[in-house]
Chains A and B, each alone.
Chain A
């Protein structure tokens, strides 16, 4: 088959399923088709990764270079994202069976899916903005799906911050376009001229803030621990697994990697490391296992940002590869763990071990447990982070991750079903096992990209030790948390959000003042007078003409 045709199908398939939703019988059965929607995208990514010369490109407007294209980081993330979307889709079909509003869920799912796959392949500013907006805004329907007061609140907070992110990015894209001399809107072209832009600082700040918000970098991570736990289980998996990666691919696509912006790189690394530690500190005092996972996502994305920041500082594109591999592993493993939370809740306590052991392997994979995929991801990042202060801090963050994930395992085990006969449905179990194996093994297939050979890595004792000591340190910390954790203060989900509860009163006062102004303006004498004043105001400046 023509590769470009397959490439078009990758986005056309979810769109076609969406259109089918206009027909009521199709809409009611759509949940069971969700597993199929991302498969063409998965095929595209596989073909592109196996044959690096075959990167597809579809140009809709060649003059302005508006269209879709694929590159290596895009293909890696597209592939693992499609895999998670497909597995989570299968999980959703079982998870939501017999519950109301399945059709509406499927519509928002497909909309989010289209945008989520689209950000990995969009080649120009407008397509990227379109797909980014789609994935951001449509995910609201997933967050608020349960329509409980909690889910509605989470939906409002999610939407508010998502729209703020959109605004920041729109400004950044306008600055990029205005600073670029050609008519082309291709991302590579406008980013290539960014270092000479008169608005370089403003553009970078807007880009890092906009994409950082989506990726969950502190202090704009606050929506993540509110929104991810509120959604139904499979939706949490894609929110925390894939949707935050829209921010990562944004940073990868839009930062000028060859410019060597040392201050900006240092700033991004700093933000990333602060996030990595801060999210662990906030996560260990949470009791909902999904909230703990959401904080872990923020912490892990902090590490990806630190990796990218190190590369940005010295103009090193290796950091992009390392960041991509790290993000790809996180995508699969975090998706799998969210699905596992649903399996835990449906399984009796005495049958928990077959779920708990693989979950523990994945969870410690975030800290780099050999020989998981997470170990490989850490190794790929090692040369970029270096052996200095940043490298040490990253290892300490891994210890923090261990602590956080052991806390998660405790909380997840505590959420097991009280019914002694409970057994999770097969439709929940197999997608979780599939993702478990994918998260464990697939990152190793990316090892050659990062210049690593699996065999030599696994036989190098010093490397193994460098992967193991943070986990041992984290284990000791976890014991301490078990012993004294009860003394720690509780922090509400979304930590810093608690500071902003006073704002509606202020907004209300402004609204009331404007309403009074309106009543005043609508009185006849006032209206007549304003017309008169308007005439004068238009006339007077003209008298001062040169």
Chain B
């Protein structure tokens, strides 16, 4: 059966793209209550498709590849799923399913009406976001990726201002303007590349750029595209739009935005530097990117510590956690290997980075949803007044706590494995200074989580008054997602080989025993 999967793998890729788009169309046409039903029905199918793709890649031990309509690039458009894409598709599907189940209570069409604005918008935007994310993870053509990014932006922005308050509208506007600025830069870069090399297919571009002496246009294009994508990823110091947007959105939307939306543009930065540009160039940009990442870790951590509201704290924590992702650039692209490094076969920075992507996605979605439950049942999310929540909502707080454990990098969580691998890689390539940043970031994370948890566990003072009872099934969803982020750390290291499939990463210790 598995070999059938591999054989039909190319069709699976098309399916992953078409399924959310078709559901989106259908939801638009039928409208009303059907939007929710269609979205909910799409969730398990989408998850199954993502699992099938991951299984096919793992079993076939090679990336899946297909040319849409049988037209090969540069005329046609190619789709490709290597190990990392497969994992991102799977993570997206898992988070989508969890958020979908969680959001049912918030976005129901009230009885007696046929359609209301917020539920209709939410469910269609969820499908649109999913379509955009899958297109980003599968795309092989820089222009198509641009289209996918735009779709992503335009699905994400209305999610921010679903409740229509002036404050969230302002946040959404800020997000819109900055994301469009990023798009312009990206498009400019893509146009330059097309002018210089006559193709936008990633595989062909890589071959042409690698073969010739580098055109000056390629340098400018790489810088422009990266800067544009950084603006969309909200890496320090161009993160201005993220905290108000992620903290202001409804909990379910915040979870999608923080867990998935910012990862899409990060994924494209990875592809530009490791799939398009020659290795030597990557080494030069890598130090800049990692330095910004390090600044983000420290800056985001300190600011998270100083927030008064829980959702703002989680949003600043996202800024810090995004920083970790950028540390993998100098570690994967490092030309040096430590004296003993070639002797061992450790999964290196690449696996650590991918693990950080996945575990942060699950943990952060769980935290935003837990914060949403707390805010809904208390009527506020002021950290100072969270006393006694540990008794009132033990399960929600437990889920928040273990998701935080993964974020902080405590064993046995996925976050711990990610940081352990990044620390090993940093030491192996002699760049020990990144270790200090990783550890300092962990301390800051611990500090801001302590602030929340110690207040919540406090037994002093009166029990909190719940304005709304909390729904047990929603608590289970949050707990499930948080548990996934922890259990990732218990998966034996050798089974992470999926992440490496289709990657000839030049850095250290790629192969597995």
Residues in chain A within 8 A of chain B (CB atoms):
60-61, 63-64, 66, 100-101, 104, 126, 129-130, 133, 137, 144, 147, 152, 155-156, 159, 163, 167, 170-171, 174-175, 177-183, 198, 510-511, 514-515, 517-518, 521-522, 527-528, 530-531, 534-539, 541-546
Contact = CB atoms under 8 A, between A and B. Distances in A.
Contacts of A133: 410-411
Contacts, number: 138
A537 B443 contact: no
Given A60-B492, A514-B302, 14 more contacts: A101-B459, A104-B390, A130-B412, A133-B411, A171-B423, A175-B427, A178-B428, A180-B340, A531-B231, A534-B238, A541-B285, A542-B222, A543-B219, A545-B284
B7 interface: no
A288 to B, nearest CB: 23
Contact of B288 (A144, A521, A537): A537
Given A63-B513, A531-B231, A538-B223, A182 B344 contact: yes
B123 interface: no
Nearest to B220: A539
Contact of A541 (B284, B341, B435, B493): B284
B302 A511 contact: yes
A542 B238 contact: no
A545 to B, nearest CB: 6
Nearest to A544: B284
A180 to B, nearest CB: 8
B117 interface: no
A130 B450 CA distance: 19
B238 A155 contact: no
A181 B460 CA distance: 53
A299 to B, nearest CB: 30
B138 interface: no
Contacts of A177: 424
B5 interface: no
Contact of B439 (A66, A126, A167): A167
Given A174-B427, A510-B302, A514-B302, A530 B238 contact: yes
B32 interface: no
A534 B230 contact: yes
A64 B424 CA distance: 15
A163 B302 CA distance: 17
B280 interface: yes
Nearest to A535: B227
A181 B344 contact: yes
A152 B453 CA distance: 13
Nearest to B492: A61
A514 B299 contact: yes
B241 to A, nearest CB: 8
Nearest 8 pairs of A and B residues by beta carbon: A539-B223, A535-B227, A130-B411, A538-B223, A522-B240, A181-B343, A178-B427, A541-B284
B220 A174 contact: no
Contact of A178 (B220, B287, B338): B338
Which among A133, A178, A180, A517 has the greatest number of chain B C-beta atoms within 10 A?
A178
Nearest to A184: B344
16 contacts: A104-B457, A126-B411, A147-B458, A156-B454, A182-B343, A183-B346, A511-B306, A514-B299, A514-B303, A515-B306, A518-B303, A531-B227, A531-B231, A537-B288, A545-B280, A545-B281
Contact of B237 (A64, A137, A167, A530): A530
Nearest to B292: A534
Contacts of B439: 167, 170-171
Contacts of B492: 60-61, 66
B102 interface: no
Given A63-B513, A163-B443, A167-B439, A183 B345 contact: yes
B448 to A, nearest CB: 12
A545 B411 CA distance: 41
Q: Label chain A's interface by main secondary structure.
A: helix
A197 to B, nearest CB: 9
A510 B344 CA distance: 42
A65 to B, nearest CB: 12
A133 B419 CA distance: 15
A438 B424 CA distance: 44
A171 B435 contact: yes
Contacts of B460: 147
Nearest to A175: B427
Interface in B331-350: 338-341, 343-346
B293 to A, nearest CB: 13
Nearest to B460: A147
Given A514-B303, A543-B219, A174 B435 contact: yes
Contacts of A511: 302, 305-306
Contacts of A542: 219, 222-223, 281, 284-285
Which among A530, A531, A544 has the greatest number of chain B C-beta atoms within 10 A?
A531
A181 B340 contact: yes
Contacts of A61: 492-494
B339 A527 contact: no
Nearest to A144: B454
Contacts of A546: 280
Given A147-B459, A511-B305, A534-B227, A159 B428 contact: no
B335 to A, nearest CB: 12
B494 A63 contact: yes
A155 B219 contact: no
B240 A538 contact: no
B437 to A, nearest CB: 12
A174 B420 contact: yes
A531 B457 CA distance: 42
B358 interface: no
B250 interface: no
B510 interface: no
A100 to B, nearest CB: 7
Given A527-B178, A535-B223, A198 B339 contact: yes
A149 B428 CA distance: 45
Contacts of B390: 104
A521 B242 CA distance: 12
A229 to B, nearest CB: 20
Interface string B399-428: 000000000001110000000100110011
B227 A167 contact: no
A527 B239 CA distance: 8
A514 B390 CA distance: 31
B354 interface: no
A126 B423 CA distance: 14
A156 to B, nearest CB: 8
Contacts of A535: 185, 223-224, 226-227
B60 interface: no
Nearest to A24: B394
Contacts of B292: 534
B346 A538 contact: no
A129 B281 contact: no
Contacts of A521: 237, 239-240
Contacts of B237: 521, 527, 530, 534
Contacts of A163: 443, 446
Contacts of B410: 133, 137
Contacts of B182: 531
Contacts of A528: 181
Contacts of A178: 338, 340-341, 424, 427-428
B177 to A, nearest CB: 8
Which among B178, B223, B281, B492 has the greatest number of chain A C-beta atoms within 10 A?
B223
Contacts of B240: 521-522, 527
A413 B200 CA distance: 85
A541 B280 CA distance: 12
B372 interface: no
Contacts of A171: 423, 435, 439
Contacts of B223: 535-536, 538-539, 542
B442 interface: yes
A61 B494 CA distance: 9
A83 to B, nearest CB: 27
B281 A167 contact: no
